[in-house]
Structure 1
């Protein structure tokens, strides 16, 4: 499983509302292309850009920017974040 869980911090919710970006904890071994393919296939949206970083806990965090044609808040509602 590439996409482990969504991040529900206050900062990630601001990204969701202001920049159409949703944050996920992902598998440490995957690259941006695999994250993009998995996310697009799972949620049927177009991804513009992905930023990844390693957290201090050793987990990989992906900030997934959704295309303006779609709304990241709709995905958050499906996931039960809002």
Structure 2
């Protein structure tokens, strides 16, 4: 290295030492009136033991969904004319639960499920089956006839 370059380098180093590295103070301009704390490290949970010893059993299986058949004169007329069976079902069961329960218990193809909640607080399900002969068979197995 030439002597002039070395002295220039030394002078630059001296200036840097005298001035310091914190020469400029930069202030951040805040554009929001509210202050949000910064996001920090959040580690995933690593429990030492299970909080539950066994998994919970299904709350609504096919036997809990269907409470029982609902039978009176108007439902018998629906059974004969419209291929529709009426059941009292669990209040928490939805139409998919009801359809799967009928398929599982009575091996019947369901085309439509309509539900309503009665003034007594029970849920009633009108289940329209696909074929005529199957309806009487399912009604017999369910205990309508």
Q: TM-score, normalised by structure 2?
A: 0.54
Instruction: Specify the alignment match of 2:111 in structure 1.
Output: 48
> Are the structure 2 counterparts of residues 77 and 35 from structure 1 closer, same or farther at C-alpha, using a change threshold of 3 Å?
same
Structure 1 segments (4+ residues) deviating >4 Å: none
> What is the total number of aligned residue pairs between the two structures?
82
Structure 1: state its 5+ residue gaps.
Answer: none
Question: Post-superposition shift, 1:76?
Answer: 1.5
Verify the 8 A CA contact 2:84 2:126 in the aligned structure 1. yes
After superposition, the CA RMSD in angstroms is 1.2
The DSSP-based 3-state class of the residue aligned with 1:71 is helix
Instruction: Specify the alignment match of 2:67 in structure 1.
Output: 4
Higher relative contact order (CA 8 A, sep 6+): 1
Q: Which has the higher strand share?
A: 1
Structure 2: state its 5+ residue gaps.
Answer: 1-63
Instruction: Specify the alignment match of 1:71 in structure 2.
Output: 134
Quick check: which has more Rg, 1 or 2? 2
Cα distance in 2, alignment partners of residues 69 and 22 from structure 1: 12
Verify the 8 A CA contact 2:83 2:132 in the aligned structure 1. no
Say whether residues 1:18 and 2:78 are aligned partners.
Answer: no
Question: Post-superposition shift, 1:81?
Answer: 2.0
Q: TM-score, normalised by structure 1?
A: 0.93
